[in-house]
Structure 1
Amino acid sequence: MQYFPMFLDLKAKEVLVVGGGEVACRKVETLVRANAIVTIISPAIEGFLRGLVDRGECHWVQNFYSHEMMDRRFVQVWATTDNPDLNHQVYRDATKLGILVNVVDDLPYCDFITPSIVNRGRFQIAISSGGASPVLVRNIRQKLEYILPQNLSLLGDFAASKRNDIKQKLPSVDLRRKYWERFFADPAVESAANRQQLEQRYQSLLSDNVTESGSVTWIEFGADFELLSLKALRLMQQAELVLHSIECPFVFVDSVRRDAERLVYRDEGQLNELLSEANKRALRIVVFIEQRSAKYNLLIGDGLRLKLAQS
């Protein structure tokens, strides 16, 4: 992993942008939306930036950049001019003061890079190739824009408003997690267009019993991860315990819920012991087994076995 992914809180923090052209427009717009205090240094700026300045959303120093303008009060610096020598001077000046700097489209002179972003209100999805393939990143973003529901912001705001209420209704963390999983998977919730519709489903689902009962799902693994069904992927994200053999490819195990416990089993006997202990804890369990294997049939019994699709 070349870059450490993180989201930076720039609210009320000072950021310097050197340059006033089209590239600066894109960067400044995002910075202003993040509530940063933006200072632009450039002898001239685009009309879009002038509008932001006129509305008091950022500051403009109408001058050529010089090293005296660099200041430790800036937590981040952007060099966006079409003059490489000037951009590199900005980089050196910022680096001397220990300030993180990005020279746009000049990767060796970047302490950080910005990802492609999908925005849905409270939700942000960042995608990066480490600067290797911007076109591929854009294609991935377009796919996510198409897949993600447009009401995602509405769902996030509603869930946030119910944090205290759900704690009173469902006392344990596990019960609340199971409830929200059920809530967000509900078709009426997925298609809700307003808060009133969400409130109706919220109250209706609360009236049903949310139990702490466990479950076991058997999922086949093979050479091609993409042959997993959507149902298998969904149950993998609900699992609290994952049991797998050493032969199971890492991509299968790594794709389960991040906070799920992961244990390796050697044979059927050890797997049976692990299952017995987990069932006492009423956990939701996913067991990865080899594709078309018959040696676990006695353990599976009438349980749910999800097979890989045919390639």
Structure 2
Amino acid sequence: MRFLPVFLDLKAGPVVLIGSGELLRAKLRVLAAAGARLRVHAIDGNRDLAGLADDVAAGVVFSDGDPLTADLAGIIAIVCAGAGDIGVAMSARAKSLGLPVNVMDDLEHSSFIFPAIVDRGEVVVAIGTGGSSPVVARRVREKIEALLPARIGELAEFIGGFRKSIHARLPEFQLRRRFWERVIDGPIGALVLAGRKTEAEAALDRISDATAFARADKPEGSVALVGAGPGDPDLLTIKALRALQDADLVLYDELVSPEILDRIRRDTARIAVGRRVGKPGIGQDAINRLMIEAVQSGQRVVRLKGGDPFVFGRGGEEVEALRAAGIAYSIVPGITAAIGGAAAFEVPLTFRQEALRITFLTAHKAHDAETVDWSTLTDTKATVVVYMGMTAAPSVRAGLLAAGRSPETPVGVFARVTRPDAQAAIGTLGELPELIARIEGGPAILIIGDVVRHAGAISQNPKQITTQIISDLLEAAA
């Protein structure tokens, strides 16, 4: 390790920045945004501070003098970017004065280098490759950014606000460390990471015996209601992936794809609890009991639901049950099937001057469809999305036609959206049952409205088009 990672206190004094062009502008933006007071020697005469917030720009002072003879008293570091020969000369001067210096892309004349940075407020991660490959450092940074919760800095700040009071209550270092480990890994930390800081503060304040809390053997459980999206594992959110990796138990719906289940940690227990048409599942009350009992035994539970938990996913019912039981929980939204299907088949659910609103319906049984007030869905400038509508398709068509919707209204049936075997059939409302017959099984959504006309041509029936292309190639080869 040639370069020791250190953190420079930018409040200790100003930084001298020397150079020109976009290289200077880039370093100026990075240093100013970090809160540095800058004394800038712009060799090219460009003093543009456009794009910097006023409070950030206030810390930038341009100097007209020669940087090689400028007074460096009180300076804490020197940075050269696009400075040419002046950078080399400035490096010699800085080293003679014992000042840290960085000459961009010049290891020989630098006593420190800039790492790739992950900035989460109070939590900062620096990644370096000894200057040998900044691109590799950036790639590592991208991986770390994907792993770190967005509010990890807020969690550090939260803990900092309580450190003195907990130190006074727990003078023993080992107990204090165990206390904070339980806070970070338990429901209080989860509340902060979910943006519920006030609730986290109240929970921490309720710990009357800090010693007993730190010494408790029984871990604290929690529930994460996680949206698995429509099927493609690459559409899982980073937060959802973290929850799956942290879980002790995953209760998953029938519609969650095997590829997404593969993202669960290998030693995590899994229970299928969902239902589909003809498969009733274990029932909502039983699911609620499983979650509560698992949490009470100290387990971290993920309730993994297809699409989004709050779009026809009974997430609201489960939250109410968890609240009533006093269980800590968090909610991780997922991409609902309507959004996933619209993107996969290039159907804009809204379109200027053409589709101004969207209605989501669920009609997984025919008698459910028959109870819908279809008269509210006759607006031609509205898009209607029907979830679980394959069985109810005849009733959907009958209801809309009876209410006055034109039989020529464009309709798309989109099955297994975002999955490799996704399939679509596009036609009109009058043809809806026939369109359903062309689909080789669900789950599927129906999109009804003029926006369906904008569906991508190749995505209207990818399997049929692929077969046609192969047939054409074989015919040409013959």
The residue aligned with 1:308 is: none
Change (3 A) 1:101 1:170: closer
Deviation at 1:203, TM superposition (A): 4.0
**How far off its partner does 1:133 sit?**
1.6
Residue identity in the other structure for 2:48: G
TM-score w.r.t. the length of structure 1 is 0.60
| Residue identity opposite 2:201 in structure 1 | E
Deviations 1:135-191 (A, max 9, x none): 111111111111111111221121111123323544533222212111111156324
Q: Quote the residue 2:25 is aligned against.
A: 25
Could you tell me how far 1:105 is from its partner in structure 2? 0.8
* Change in CA separation of 1:203 and 1:213 when aligned onto 2, cut-off 3 Å: closer
Q: Which residue of 1 aligns with 2:82?
A: 81
Q: What's the secondary structure of 2:58's corresponding residue?
A: coil
For residue 110 of structure 1, report the CA deviation from its aligned partner. 0.4
Q: 2:176 matched to which residue of 1? A: 176
| Paired position in structure 2 for 1:210 | 213
Match of 2:266 in 1: none
Q: Give the conservation status (yes or no) of the 8 Å contact 1:18–1:79.
A: yes
SS in 1 for 2:138: helix
Which residue does the alignment assign to 2:149? 149
Question: Do the aligned residues in 2 keep the contact of 1:70 with 1:94 (CA within 8 Å)?
Answer: no
Equivalent residue, structure 2, for 1:38: 38
Q: Retained in 1: the 8 A contact 2:17–2:79?
A: yes
Letter in 2 for 1:193: G
- Name the aligned partner's letter for residue 158 of structure 2: F
Q: Which amino acid aligns with 2:88?
A: H
Three-state SS of the structure 1 residue aligned to 2:177 is: helix
Count of residues in correspondence between the two structures: 215
Residue type at the aligned position of 2:135: V
Deviation at 1:40, TM superposition (A): 0.7
Secondary structure (helix, strand or coil) at the match of 1:69 reads coil
Please name the residue that 2:127 is paired with: 127
Secondary structure of 2:213's aligned partner: coil
Aligned residues: percent identity?
Answer: 29
Distance 1:172 1:66, change over 3 A: closer
Partner of 2:196: 194
Following superposition, the deviation at residue 38 of structure 1 comes to 1.2
Distance 2:80 2:166 in 1: 47
Q: What whole-Å deviation, never above 9, does each CA across 1:206-255 have from its counterpart, x for those lacking one? A: 568335489xxxxxxxxxxxxxxx89xxxxxxxxxxxxxxxxxxxxxxxx
CA contact (8 A) 1:192 1:198 kept: no
**Conserved 8 A contact 2:20-2:83:** no
Q: 1:125 to 1:100 in 2, by over 3 A?
A: same
Which residue does the alignment assign to 1:56? 58
Q: Write the letter of the residue equivalent to 2:49.
A: F
Q: Tell me: higher relative CO, structure 1 or 2? Use CA pairs within 8 A at least 6 residues apart.
A: 1
CA 1:207/1:53 → structure 2, altered by over 3 Å: closer, same or farther? closer
Corresponding residue number in structure 2 for 1:185: 185
The 2-side partners of 1:163 and 1:71 are apart by: 38
Unaligned runs of 5+ in 2: 218-244, 247-478
Q: Structure 1 residues 189-198 or 199-208, which shifts more?
A: 199-208
1:101 Cα deviation (Å)?
1.4
| 2:47–2:62 Cα contact (<8 Å) kept | no
CA distance in 1, matches of 2:163, 2:81: 42
Letter in 2 for 1:99: L
CA distance in 1, matches of 2:169, 2:25: 48
8 Å Cα contact 1:78/1:103 also seen in 2: yes
Which residue matches 2:159? 159
- CA distance in structure 1 between the partners assigned to 2:117 and 2:78 by the alignment: 20
Paired position in structure 2 for 1:117: 117
* Cα root mean square deviation, aligned: 3.1
Residues 155-304 of structure 1 aligned to structure 2 (within 5 Å): 155-187=155-187, 189-190=189-190, 191-203=193-205, 209-210=212-213, 212=215
- Comparing 108-117 with 98-107, which one deviates more in the overlay? 98-107
The answer to whether the Cα contact below 8 Å between 1:122 and 1:153 also exists between their aligned partners in 2 is yes
The runs of 5 or more residues in structure 1 that have no matched partner are 215-229, 232-311
Q: 1:192 to 1:79 in 2, by over 3 A?
A: same
Q: Secondary structure at the match of 1:178?
A: helix
Residue 247 of structure 1 corresponds to which residue in structure 2? none
Q: Which moved more, 1:166-175 or 1:191-200?
A: 166-175
